Amino acid sequence: MSETPSIFSRIIAGEVPADIVYDSERVIAFKDINPQAPVHLLVVPKTEEYANVAELAAGDPALLAEIVTTAQKLAFEHMNGQYRLIFNTGRDAGQTVYHVHAHVLGGGLSEGSLAS
Ligand code: AMP
């Protein structure tokens, strides 16, 4: 079910190209290759130790907080500061990469829609 290293670790290592919009000691962010909104970014911890947001919350809450604050900062830089933050958890919820990541969607979303 999970690929090691994950596609995101390969982006972090520079082995796979990506449109990187943020890079810090513990977090990276880049444009989603298959955008589901006018702006669709992924915010990813550099460690692939955590498969999903609940594992991350339990294992390193400060890192989860950094992901959320990074999402907020990017939302002001790339959209109008209003955004949808999604952590898919499990295959039935659409998770395909088991290296925790936040989807930051914005730039004009349809009202009432819950889908990413
Ligand atoms: P999820 O389905 O929640 O696990 O999200 C994985 C996301 O990673 C999807 O939205 C994909 O479009 C995105 N993705 C997969 N490979 C790449 C890549 N090489 N560069 C950017 N985004 C990617």
How far is Cα 13 from Cα 76, in angstroms, rounded to an integer?
27
CATH number of domain containing 17? 3.30.428.10
The answer to whether residue 64 is domain-embedded is yes
- Cα 67 from chain centroid (whole Å): 8
Residue positions counted in the chain: 116
Whether residue 112 lies inside any domain: the answer is no
pLDDT in tens, 9-65: 999 999 999 999 999 999 999 999 999 999 999 999 999 999 999 999 999 999 999
pLDDT digits (tens, 9 = 90+) for 65-115: 999 999 999 999 999 999 999 999 999 999 999 999 999 999 998 776 555
Q: Which ligand 1 atom is the nearest neighbour of the CA of 116?
A: 10
The enclosing H or E element of 9 equals helix 7-12
The residue to mutate among 32, 95, 103, having the most atoms of ligand 1 within 8 angstroms of its beta carbon, is 32
The reply to whether 115 falls in a domain is no
Give the separation between CA 110 and CA 70, rounded to whole angstroms.
24
Count the domains in the chain: 1
